[in-house]
Amino acid sequence: MASSSVHLVFFFFTIVSAFILVSSNTFKPPKTRAFIFPIRRDEKTHQFYTELDMGTPTRFIYVVIDLGGQFTWLDCNTYNSSTYRRVSCWSTKCNATIGGDGASCMDCREKPLRPGCTRNTCATISYNPKTTITTLGGVGEDTMSLSSTDGRLSLLDVDMRRYSFACGLLNDLLTGLAKPTNGVLGLGRSPSSLSTQLSSAFKLVQHKFALCLPSSKQFYFGSIFVGGGPYYFLPYYPDDASKLLVKTPLVINPVSDPRPPINAKDFSSPDYFIDVKGIKVDGKPVISFNSSLLSIDKEGKGGTMISTMTYYTVLHSAIYKALVGDFVKEAAAKKMKRVGSVAPFGACFSSENIKNTMTGPAVPIIDLVVKGNNAPWRIYGANSIVKVKKNVLCLGFVDGGSTPRTSIILGGYQLENNLLEFDLESSMVGFSSSLLFHNASCSLSRIF
């Protein structure tokens, strides 16, 4: 059975509706068009993670979500499954996984042989995105049980018999990752990412996926949807939330970032970049920085990347200083009282005269002006302001220095309760801005 927690995130009346349908003599199982995975947030590391239902006997494995990750890797030191199969060197799947000519090959001699270290096994590099630790490990495949969805309900369980992943065998490879986790789930632009594998294995599943990151603690769940919408956030927003999405082109960074390249023939970054044309604070353009920083240069530097491994958005110093300066001016106009800074934030305020609204503290609104649409990516107080201690709120952006590789890294805090859809078929990214504005949320509680 796929993870029970996936089923728990849906509300009682929808579960009752599904029971009525299943009980009907005319019920026909729907064709699989999309899958759903739960998302939790670890309070200590601020990392987002999900669970995979893997192997025989079935085993729930928690994995950190890396939006730019190229594939799934697991710590195979304790992985034990009767249905695990190695991927052979020189095989078609090996070539697709490592993107080269199949020359990367392991020839382990240890006895007994274990997953990830088997003779003549396809090999690739497992990468910890938090510490940048890497290790060479074998590529294998195993059964994974999946929860299908129609956007409202978690439906039938479906088995994928050959889900491929890499094995990391280095003892400290998990250093820095959330404690419940045993590996990393890659959602990047690569032939072995979760969405690519599922869309290839199931004909009706489109090559797209959506993220809805939760803002609440571990007993609340967000969602990964693989295959596209509709997306429902019942009972507060009964309409299909895909109608809220504003589309902007996916920008391909032609130069690979420091991650170990998986594809020997394509060194472009597996991360997701968008074209931000400008920034506004309460409708006024932030102009006191060099706008060329918003573009990706021929060396792959600059631009705006979306990340789940960075929590607070990181900005090039020039952009950061300009944004903070304009935000402080607009805050003063709203009679917000500035107080001493609290690291790592540079602008903090007393909360005593700041009202709360459905979209968080009533502070100046930050807009990211994106290519292809007049509607901006709007960042309200719930995603821009961080409570650091009693009566102190800070602007939740971080100075990334004057020589960062990427000018803007949109982090998880700014993404929480925003629906994001990554369409790899049309090369577009859709964003909803805050669902709180529509009385909806990515954080759905358990039903006991």
- CATH classification at residue 296: 2.40.70.10
**For residue 295, what pLDDT is reported?**
95
Neighbours of 94 (CB within 10 A): 25
Q: How confident is the model at residue 151 (pLDDT cuts 50, 70, 90)?
A: confident
Same domain, 127 and 263: no
The tokens describing 321, both together, are: 């200083």
Q: Is 26 helix (H, G, I), strand (E, B) or coil?
A: coil
Same domain, 200 and 162: yes
pLDDT greater than 60 at residue 16 = no
How far apart (Å, rounded) are the C-alpha atoms in residues 97 and 169?
18
Same domain, 307 and 199: no
89 touches 205 (CB < 8 A): no
Same domain, 167 and 299: no
Domain end residue (candidates: 229, 253, 279): 229
Q: How confident is the model at residue 115 (pLDDT cuts 50, 70, 90)?
A: low
Same domain, 224 and 248: no
Summarised one tens digit per residue, pLDDT across range 373-394 is: 778 999 999 999 999 999 999 9
CA 33, 70, 316, 360: dihedral to nearest 10 degrees?
A: 30
Same domain, 225 and 252: no
Same domain, 69 and 167: yes
Q: Which of 302, 286, 252 is nearest to 408 (CA)?
A: 302
Mean pLDDT of 66-86: 91
177 touches 47 (CB < 8 A): yes
Q: Is residue 254 part of a domain?
A: yes
How far apart (Å, rounded) are the C-alpha atoms in residues 267 and 257?
9
Q: How confident is the model at residue 434 (pLDDT cuts 50, 70, 90)?
A: very high
Query: 378 versus 18: which is more confidently predicted?
Result: 378
**For residue 107, what pLDDT is reported?**
59
Same domain, 144 and 255: no
Same domain, 347 and 222: no
Q: Is residue 237 part of a domain?
A: no
Same domain, 249 and 157: no
Its sign, for the CA torsion 271, 276, 282, 286, is: positive
How far apart (Å, rounded) are the C-alpha atoms in residues 137 and 276?
38
Token look-up 């078609």 returns 92
Q: Is residue 407 part of a domain?
A: yes
Same domain, 246 and 220: no
**For residue 18, what pLDDT is reported?**
42
What proportion of the chain, given as a percentage, has pLDDT over 90?
65
Q: Is residue 202 part of a domain?
A: yes
Cα-based distances in Å from 24 to 12, 144, 151, 158 = 19, 29, 21, 21
Token look-up 């990750």 returns 69
**CA contacts within 13 A on the Cβ side of 40:** 22
Strands (E) located in 133-245: 134-149, 154-168, 183-186, 208-212, 220-226
How far apart (Å, rounded) are the C-alpha atoms in residues 278 and 304?
11
Domain end residue (candidates: 229, 259, 284): 229
On average, the pLDDT of the chain sits at 86
Q: How many domains does the chain have?
A: 2
Length of the chain: 448
Its sign, for the CA torsion 99, 102, 104, 109, is: positive
Same domain, 284 and 221: no
Q: Is residue 236 part of a domain?
A: no
Query: What is the DSSP secondary structure assignment for residue 88, as one 8-state letter?
Result: B
Q: Is residue 234 part of a domain?
A: no
Mean pLDDT of 418-447: 88
Instruction: Enumerate helices (H) and strands (E) in the chain, giving the number of each.
Output: 7, 31
Mean pLDDT of 82-109: 71
Q: Which of 447, 415, 443 is nearest to 431 (CA)?
A: 415
Domain end residue (candidates: 229, 253, 276): 229
**For residue 88, what pLDDT is reported?**
85
Residue type, 216: S
Q: Give residue 340's domain range.
A: 242-445
pLDDT greater than 80 at residue 398 = yes
pTM for the whole structure: 0.88
132 touches 160 (CB < 8 A): no
How far apart (Å, rounded) are the C-alpha atoms in residues 234 and 232?
6
- E strand or H helix at 96, and its extent? helix 92-98
- E strand or H helix at 319, and its extent? helix 317-333
Q: Is residue 235 part of a domain?
A: no
Burial of 180 (0-12, 13-18, 19+ CB in 10 A): middle
Q: Is residue 177 part of a domain?
A: yes
**For residue 349, what pLDDT is reported?**
98
